[in-house]
Each structure stands twice: as structure tokens, then as C-alpha cells.
Homo-oligomer: A and B are copies of this chain.
Amino acid sequence: MAAPMNRQIVLAARPQGEPKETDFQFVEARMPEAVPAKMLLRTLYLSLDPYMRGRMSAGPSYAAPVEIDAVMGGGTVCRVEASQINEFAVGDIVEAYTGWQEFALSDGRSVRKLDPTIAPITTALGVLGMPGMTAWTGLMNIGQPKAGETLVVAAASGAVGSVVGQLAKLKGCRAVGIAGGERKCRYVVDELGFDACIDHRRGDFPDALKAACPKGIDINFENVGGPVFDAVLPLLNTFARVPLCGLIAHYNATELPAGIDRAPLLMRQMLTKRLTMRGFIVFDFASQQPDFLAEVGPLVRDGRIKYREDIVDGLENAPRALIGLLRGENFGKVIVRVSPEDQPG
């Protein structure tokens, strides 16, 4: 019998514009060897997130790019297969950042043990993980919602947007979502309880958004950019806040759009309306994770915050799933099932 191999997906080429499947390569590497003070993790679930597009490019960002031929990075939920670390035992389920591969060694740093009795372990990659905490920290620290205000969030059926809107509702705000397609919009209103959700593919999208925000917009949780933001900007109220955590509409762009330079328009709006715009990533508020889990954990457990996962089976399907995510083809938090939960390592 052949020795077990470690299935991985590495970055084969830096994408020009939208990534192609050939920008990724599926490889089988040697199994990592046990070493002192480390543990062997088997990936059960891999999170796919829009920020990964940025890591595929060489340009400067808040994190170093993935090197060519290196394993793609990513958040994971893993099972401990072997451990030489006191705090972790075989069979433990952990949240880690081991990337697009089946096995990895870890020294235990930045690894968090999960309690599977509290919530399904996949939530550590979504509503109770990085996306949920992005929603909570951006809304609380920057958005600063007050009862009676109007919040708008795009990608409203997605991992971040769905939590932003539900939290805003719990704070007494009017929550208006933006999503792609009627099916997602219905889910956002009927299941998640937003006050309205507008399909950005509608020809009259700016007018429909305006009609859904009769008192203007006080908080725009911005994770998309592009034409959606263009429709939001004129509706912002004086003293509106714009937490900015993503620009998925721009990620595949290879150059700046031609036409007029609207940077002066944006700055003029910021001045005359006294807007606050602040870019952030969830790690900027890392110390708030206990507060996040303490507030949002019970809300998820009690069903007051709902979530939806879009599970893709098999590591080999991750490239296509990421390409689809960047096109908005997913419906809910995209998670790749790499190994079955209930099968022994």
C-alpha cells in the first residue's frame, strides 16, 4: 500500500483579472513528519473568503501574497490526529489557519479549541468565526448603530453581510440589504428579518435603494465597492459612518476604470456630509474576540442570529468555488468539506 500523501492546492500562477482554474494546481505532497512540540492536524473544513483573491496578487496589501507554488492560505477547522503539545489531545476539534491542504503541522499558536456541543463546528469559519467577528467589530467600533438609524449592507446574504444586518436589527436600526438576485433578496428579508433587500442587478437599482431608505443612510457597512457603493454614496446622511472591510467588486480589476476621476467627488461628499470612512480588518480588533463570542454566541445558539452555509464537497473543488464566490454565485458562507467529520483519521 502506498504511503499516505498530503493533498494540497498551490498557487500556480498569479491571475490576470478573474482567477482561472489553471491559476491553481492540485498536488500530492509527502505527509508532514511528526516533530517535537507540534501536532498534526487533519483539515475537516476550509473557509473560502473574498480576501483570498488579494493574496493571489503580488501587490501590497495588509498581508504578504501567497508565493507561487506555495499552498494557498485559508482558515480551517481541523481534528488533531497526533499531538506533542500538552494543551491539545488527539480528537480535539480546533480552528486554525492551515490553508488549502489535507494535513498540516501546527505549534498550537493561533489555534483555538472548539466545543462541538455549543454550535456546529463549521460556524467557527462563519457566523462565529472571522466573518461574523468582522461584522460585529466593524459595526460596533466604527458603525456605532443607534436605534432608529438606517443601515445598508451589500452581499447581504453572505457570511459578513447577513450578520451585520441582523445585529443592526437587534440594535433597533432599519436594516436594508443588497444582494444579487431575487432568491437571495427573499432569503434576506424572509429568513434573516431585514426590513428590505434590493437586487443590485435591477435596472432601477439606485432608485429602488433610495426608496428603501426614506430617511437616508446612517451606516454603510462597505464590503463591495463599485457601482453598489456609487448608489449608496448620494444617500448617505450627514455624520454617516462607513466601515470599510472589503471591495470585492474591485478585486479582479487589472486597472483603474477610465472616464472621469470621481475621487474628488468622494472627498467632497466626505467633507460636506462630514462622513467617517474607516478601513479595517478583523485582526485590528483581535483582542475583542472574547466579547464577540460572549455576545454573538448566545444569539446564534438561540436562533436570534441565523446563518446559511454553502458547503462544497472536496478540496479539489475549492478553486472553482472561489472563482464562483468572487462572481457572487454562492448563497451563504462558502465552506469546503475536505475530510468527513465522522471518519477517523
- Cβ B280 vs Cβ A268 within 8 A: no
- With A244-B271, A276-B276, A280-B274 given, is the CB distance from A256 to B266 under 8 Å? no
A263, closest chain B residue (CB): B262
Q: Which of A260, A280, A281 is most buried by chain B, counting CB atoms within 10 A of its CB?
A: A260
A273 touches which of B258, B270, B279 (Cβ 8 Å):
B279
- The reply to whether the CB of A278 lies closer than 8 angstroms to some CB of chain B is yes
**Contact count band on A:** 35 or more
- Cβ A257 vs Cβ B260 within 8 A: yes
Contact with B along A264-290 (1 / 0, CB 8 A): 111110111111111111001000000
- Cβ A261 vs Cβ B264 within 8 A: no
- Cβ B274 vs Cβ A281 within 8 A: yes
Contact with B along A11-48 (1 / 0, CB 8 A): 00000000000000000000000000000000000000
- Cβ B260 vs Cβ A256 within 8 A: yes
- Cβ B261 vs Cβ A257 within 8 A: yes
- The reply to whether the CB of A129 lies closer than 8 angstroms to some CB of chain B is no
Question: Can you add 8 more A-B contacts, CB < 8 Å, to A244-B271, A258-B260, A274-B280?
Answer: A60-B272, A229-B267, A247-B264, A255-B260, A266-B266, A274-B278, A276-B277, A276-B279
5 contacts between A and B (CB under 8 A): A61-B272, A244-B270, A250-B264, A255-B260, A276-B276
